[in-house]
Amino acid sequence: MGTVVVDVMLKSEILDPQGQAVAGALPRLGFNQFTDVRQGKRFVLTVEGEVTDEVLAAAREAAETMLSNPVIEDVVGVRAESAAVESQTVDSQATESQG
C-alpha cells in the first residue's frame, strides 16, 4: 500500500482568515515570535501497491482539478510517502491516546 501526500495552500496574495485567527491567538499562550500564520490543507491519498509515476500523475491531476481551486490556491507539493512512516505515525498517536 502506498500513499501520495498533496499539500495545498491559499495563494500568498489571498487573505487567510483562519491563519489570522491562529496568529491572533498564539501570543495569548506566550508565542510572540511568530509574525504570521498561513493555514493549508493536506490530502493523503492511498493506493493499492506502489506509488508509480502514473499514480503520481493522477494525483497531480486530481490536485489541480478538484483538491485545489487554482483561482485562490496553489498546489505546493505532490509526493509519494512511504507507508511505513505513515503507519508509525498512526501507531504512536494510538499509543499516546491510550496512555
Partner 1 sequence: MKIGVVTFPGSLDDHDARRAVRIAGGEPVSLWHGDDSLRAVDAVVLPGGFSYGDYLRAGAIARFAPVMSALIPAANAGLPVLGICNGFQILCESHLLPGSMIQNDHRTFICRDQRLRVENATTAWTSDFEQGAEITIVLKNQDGQYVADKRTLDELEGEGRVAFRYVVEPAAASGASTHDRFAGRNPNGSYRDIAGVTNARGNVVGLMPHPEHAIEQGYGPSLDGLTFFSSVLKTMVNA
Residues that bind partner 1 (CB under 8 A): 10, 13-15, 17-18, 20-21, 66-67, 69, 71-72
Nearer Cβ to partner 1 (40/83): 40
Nearer Cβ to partner 1 (28/84): 28
Nearer Cβ to partner 1 (20/58): 20
Distance CA 54, CA 59 (A): 9
For residue 58, the minimal CB distance to partner 1 (Å) is 16
Cβ within 8 Å of residue 12, ≥6 positions away: 38
77's enclosing H/E stretch is: strand 73-81
Residue 77 backbone dihedrals phi, psi, to 5 degrees: -165, 135
For residue 41, the minimal CB distance to partner 1 (Å) is 8
